[in-house]
Amino acid sequence: MGQPSEKAVGPLRIPFDEHRIDVNQISACASRIITTLHQSGYEAYVVGGAVRDLLLGFVPKDFDVVTDATPEEVRRVFRNSRIIGRRFRLVHVYCGRDMVEVSTFRAPHEVSNSKDRKGRLLRDNTFGSISEDAIRRDFTVNALFYDPRSEEVLDFCGGYADTQKNLLRIIGAPVQRYREDPVRMLRAVRLSEKLGLTIDPKTRSPFKKQARLLEGVPTARLYDEFIKVVKSGSLASAVEKIVTYGFQSALFGKLEKIKEQSREGDFLRLVYEKTDDRINSGKSVSPAFLFAAVFWPEVDRKWNYVESDPKYMGALVRAIDEASDSLSQTFVPKRLIADIRDIWYLQGRLLNRRGKKPAQALRHGKFRAGYDFLELRGIVGEVPQELVDWWTQFQEIEPEARESWLEHNNKLGATEPKKRVRRRPRKKRNTTEASSSQ
């Protein structure tokens, strides 16, 4: 922990006059819990993301509380609480429908001595002092404690100065900290994009070289972190960083790198931007839709180049099967794969505007997602806008009027499947694949 500011010594105490956090910005539930813990003779603070967000002028998502009381002691103080977690035992304390996580000061891993041979943390549950709890955290700005009683911010790692400089800086020796937990590198990207922080050069410089550490992280954890990136509302810029630092192969497996100046690139950018728009206006996003998009260029490429099957649906199904295989090697949960396949499959079904097919497609459980997907493909010119408009109108038609509508529209020539199945020049394809794979 080379720098003096990162040593576990007495904290810098920043008074209200300087930090200007209004005590009323702390959630009523967290305030009550802290007061009750004080009255029971324990220390207690707001910690982590909430203090950071308040100092940076953001509204905190939630308020975490940290204390010197053990989980059992916290449990005894609050009737409406329960102990959870195996790796970290902490307490969920409820105030009506509100819930606050209360954790006990933990010592860093050097003290708890529970790393595997690669330096990864196995167990991280040894209780410690407040200063030890500060230095086991990931970034200096995440290691600040707020005391609502004195209205002071306690700073053991120089995090307060970093909030003033909009700087995201890892605590301790960067490579060692990434070996202990490679997800910290993804957290750096997410937090810096979400909060507009610059990643400190020393924090950032090992990323490319250490990116492969992410391959050893359980896929469920990578997925959770990626979903946090999605929900941050900065997906488009975060994905750019993920690619720049070489984190994407741990996430997306052998998925080919998409060229910047390409229709595939335009399509993905559009999907990421639309996702950000939805999140930033308080709407939900569907992970299946998003992953259908991320892996779509692979399906589409295969679909276009299937050699032997002149029927476009057969070709599409084969492309979907191949892409599902590679998808199942990634961090995308298996439970999403059926929905993802449906969205892909509908891209073929929606090409057929003959007879009963359109009405059948409309009844498909994933029609809406398939149609939304087609619309995005239309925007980047992957399918004719006329096809998208046709479906936009067809949905509006009353069921009993559909037949005559179809008859009229079919006369206008909007019936033929547009997908062309091209023959793939075998040699050329092999070289293309070799040169564009990661």
Nearer to Mg ion, 49 or 358 (CB): 49
Q: Catalytic residue at 62?
A: yes
Q: With contact defined as beta carbons under 8 Å apart, do 165 and 28 qualify? A: no
Q: How far is the CB of 48 from Mg ion (least distance, A)?
A: 6
Nearer to ligand ATP, 237 or 410 (CB): 237
Nearer to ligand ATP, 7 or 228 (CB): 228
Q: What is the C-alpha to C-alpha distance for residues 371 and 195, in angstroms, rounded to an integer?
A: 34
Q: What is the C-alpha to C-alpha distance for residues 70 and 63, in angstroms, rounded to an integer?
A: 19
Q: How far is the CB of 220 from Mg ion (least distance, A)?
A: 19
Q: How far is the CB of 53 from ligand ATP (least distance, A)?
A: 6
Q: How far is the CB of 204 from ligand ATP (least distance, A)?
A: 17
Q: Which amino acid is at 385?
A: Q
Q: Is 49 in the site for Mg ion (CB under 5 A)?
A: yes
Which partner, Mg ion, ligand ATP, none, binds residue 142 by CB below 5 to 8 Å per kind? ligand ATP
Q: How far is the CB of 61 from Mg ion (least distance, A)?
A: 6
Nearer to ligand ATP, 61 or 117 (CB): 61
Q: Using only C-alpha atoms, what is the Rg of the chain?
A: 26
Q: Catalytic residue at 155?
A: no
Which partner, Mg ion, ligand ATP, none, binds residue 274 by CB below 5 to 8 Å per kind? none
DSSP state of 366: T
Q: What is the C-alpha to C-alpha distance for residues 329 and 143, in angstroms, rounded to an integer?
A: 36
Q: What is the C-alpha to C-alpha distance for residues 44 and 100, in angstroms, rounded to an integer?
A: 13
User: One of 62, 98, 147, 309 is an active-site residue; which one?
Assistant: 62
Which partner, ligand ATP, Mg ion, none, binds residue 408 by CB below 5 to 8 Å per kind? none
Q: What is the C-alpha to C-alpha distance for residues 350 and 379, in angstroms, rounded to an integer?
A: 16
Q: What is the rounded (10 degree) CA torsion for 236, 239, 245, 250?
A: 170
Cβ-proximal residue to ligand ATP, closest one: 49
For 117, phi then psi, to 5°, come to: -65, -25
Q: What is the C-alpha to C-alpha distance for residues 264 and 247, in angstroms, rounded to an integer?
A: 20
Tokens of 342: 């449906």
User: One of 53, 64, 68, 200 is an active-site residue; which one?
Assistant: 64
State the CB neighbour count (10 A cutoff) for residue 182.
Answer: 24
Q: What is the C-alpha to C-alpha distance for residues 435 and 267, in angstroms, rounded to an integer?
A: 22
Q: Is 60 in the site for Mg ion (CB under 5 A)?
A: no
User: One of 138, 155, 162, 342 is an active-site residue; which one?
Assistant: 138
Which partner, ligand ATP, Mg ion, none, binds residue 137 by CB below 5 to 8 Å per kind? ligand ATP
Nearer to ligand ATP, 88 or 305 (CB): 88
Q: Which of 130, 140, 158 is nearest to 48 (CA)?
A: 140
Q: How far is the CB of 144 from Mg ion (least distance, A)?
A: 13
Q: Which amino acid is at 276?
A: D
Pairing of strands 98-104, 64-67: parallel
Which partner, ligand ATP, Mg ion, none, binds residue 138 by CB below 5 to 8 Å per kind? ligand ATP
Q: How far is the CB of 199 from Mg ion (least distance, A)?
A: 19
Which partner, Mg ion, ligand ATP, none, binds residue 66 by CB below 5 to 8 Å per kind? none
Nearer to ligand ATP, 111 or 401 (CB): 111
Residues 322 to 341 in contact with Mg ion, rule: CB under 5 A: none
Nearer to Mg ion, 138 or 155 (CB): 138
Q: Catalytic residue at 138?
A: yes
Q: What is the C-alpha to C-alpha distance for residues 250 and 274, in angstroms, rounded to an integer?
A: 24
Nearer to ligand ATP, 220 or 401 (CB): 220
Q: Please work out the total of residues on this chain that contact Mg ion, with binding judged by CB under 5 A.
A: 1
DSSP collapsed to 3 states, 276-318 = HHHHHCCCCCCHHHHHHHHCHHHHHHHHHHCCCCCCHHHHHHH
Residues near ligand ATP (CB under 6 A) are: 48-49, 61, 64, 137-138, 142-143, 181, 183-184, 228
Alpha-carbon distances, residue 226 vs 19, 141, 208, 231, 332 (angstroms): 32, 21, 18, 9, 10
Which range binds Mg ion by CB under 5 A, 46-54, 68-76, 136-144, 182-190? Answer: 46-54
Tokens of 150: 């004195």
Q: How far is the CB of 140 from Mg ion (least distance, A)?
A: 16
For 64, phi then psi, to 5°, come to: -100, 145
Which partner, ligand ATP, Mg ion, none, binds residue 65 by CB below 5 to 8 Å per kind? none
Active-site amino acid positions: 62, 64, 138
Residues that bind Mg ion (CB under 5 A): 49
